[in-house]
Amino acid sequence: MEFDLSPEQQMFQRAVHDFCAAELHPYADEVDRSGEMRWGAIRKMPALGLTGLQAPEQYGGAELDSISMALAIEELGWACGSTGLSLAAHNGLSCGPLTRWGTPEQQGKYLTKLTNGEHLGALALTEPGAGSDLAGGVQTTAVQQGDSWVINGSKAWITNPKFAPVIIVLARTDRDAGTRGFSMLLVEPGTPGLTIHPPEKKMGLNGSPTQMLTFEQVRVPLDAVLGEVGRGFQQTMQTLDGGRISIGALSIGLARAAFEAAVTYAQQRQAFGKPISDYQAIQWMIADAALEIEAARLLVLRAAWLRDQGRDFGKLAAMGKLKATEVAEKVCHNAIQIHGSYGYSREFPVERIYRDQRLMSIGEGTSEIQRMVIARHVLREQGD
Ligand SMILES: Cc1cc2nc3c(=O)[nH]c(=O)nc-3n(C[C@H](O)[C@H](O)[C@H](O)COP(=O)(O)OP(=O)(O)OC[C@H]3O[C@@H](n4cnc5c(N)ncnc54)[C@H](O)[C@@H]3O)c2cc1C
């Protein structure tokens, strides 16, 4: 692996950083308090490719490599956790599967809307009784009746449905076929029988809507299947592998924002006659944070690079996500520590960033599940 970014990747990173610094970073607190996304900024994102990072150019996407995708999501996370999560889900969980498995008709109909800066996409996997164990727990069914699929069930904790022109839904299409009995279906909000419930009240990421969905006799046409009937579970696992790169990148962005705030504060705050940054205890926290952020970023970018090479990246994506989310937790914890009481106040950004990052070790596969994935890879490799 090259140990530096290409000139194009560096230019793109700088452009996204400048955009985020101007359009999102100063407003992150307002987004958290109001619970409202900054649509004025999102509408400007297509010019940089942020609303279709890896979607085909013919449908308004930027067709970027995975490293550039990770760099962009890191910058979004650095600027605003809520916007970062919604854009990560939009790109990885919605545009991603449509790009990979959509027919030209599905791509023409939905990707063009998803990349235009007016909407954000959603993928509904989780249910009230099924998160980590989707294969065992998903109860939502889609049954073929005449020229329709009829969907019944409920989904929980779904990012962006209120902004989505289409929601990708994982449902059981054959109860007796195990992991071959799932399919992904494209459901448009407004379809009779689909209820999108009000956003959950959460600890953080308050600008990113997380909603429950219920399906009562929801009818969609037979060609609303995304990819192949019976391949929905495998498609889900592949989507989550990619999603882990972006949640890793998002976590690094959050950690970096808290770290930068802590370094600035440590140089300004005086105790016992000098800046607290002069004390070794503070310096060690700063040094550890700098080291761990760099280490986590290398893992995430290596996973992205493997993906770009068409190589197996599942283990590295799980490692990158696990490392980056644990680093974010530690760095944000210490950023508050460095701020003392001010860090515990809503007046300083580290309090919000700490709340925002807490989701990262839960969403798109908990840390426990990442360890299971890594162990499975290692045991398989050793067994070969
Ligand atoms: C803000 C937010 C946004 C989200 N966005 C989306 C979205 O867009 N789409 C979507 O489909 N979902 C989304 N989710 C849901 C999220 O992906 C799930 O909550 C997550 O996968 C965990 O599932 P769970 O909450 O059911 O936990 P559970 O699976 O019930 O796990 C509970 C605990 O048990 C542990 N555990 C479970 N199984 C094992 C095991 N075999 N060994 C050891 N420990 C185990 C877990 O690690 C965890 O600590 C979102 C959630 C939140 C909070």
Determine the distance separating the centroid of ligand 1 and the alpha carbon of 133, expressed in angstroms: 8
> Coil, helix or strand for 217?
strand
Nearest one of 344, 298, 249, 375 to 1, comparing CA atoms: 298
- Closest C-alpha residue for ligand 1 atom 41: 369
Residue type (1 letter), 209: P
Best of 361, 366, 372, 374 to mutate for ligand 1, by most ligand atoms within 8 A of CB? 366
63 DSSP assignment: -
Nearest one of 210, 222, 131, 126 to 171, comparing CA atoms: 126
> Coil, helix or strand for 148?
strand
Nearest 10 degrees: Cα torsion 218, 220, 222, 228: -80
Domains and CATH numbers, the chain: 7-114 (1.10.540.10), 122-230 (2.40.110.10), 233-383 (1.20.140.10)
Q: What angle do CA 99, 230, 316 make, to 5 degrees?
A: 55
Q: What is the pLDDT along the chain (384 residues), one digit of tens a residue?
A: 457 899 999 999 999 999 999 999 999 999 999 999 999 999 999 999 999 999 999 999 999 999 999 999 999 999 999 999 999 999 999 999 999 999 999 999 999 999 999 999 999 999 999 999 999 999 999 999 999 999 999 999 999 999 999 999 999 999 999 999 999 999 999 999 999 999 999 999 999 999 999 999 999 999 999 999 999 999 999 999 999 999 999 999 999 999 999 999 999 999 999 999 999 999 999 999 999 999 999 999 999 999 999 999 999 999 999 999 999 999 999 999 999 999 999 999 999 999 999 999 999 999 999 999 999 999 999 886
Cβ of 359 less than 6 Å from ligand 1: yes
Best of 244, 362, 370 to mutate for ligand 1, by most ligand atoms within 8 A of CB? 362
What's the burial of 26, exposed, middle or buried (CB within 10 Å: 0-12/13-18/19+)? Answer: exposed
**Residue 293 to residue 31: CA distance in whole angstroms:** 25
**Residue 260 to residue 263: CA distance in whole angstroms:** 5
pTM strictly above 0.95: yes
- Closest C-alpha residue for ligand 1 atom 48: 366
Length of the chain: 384
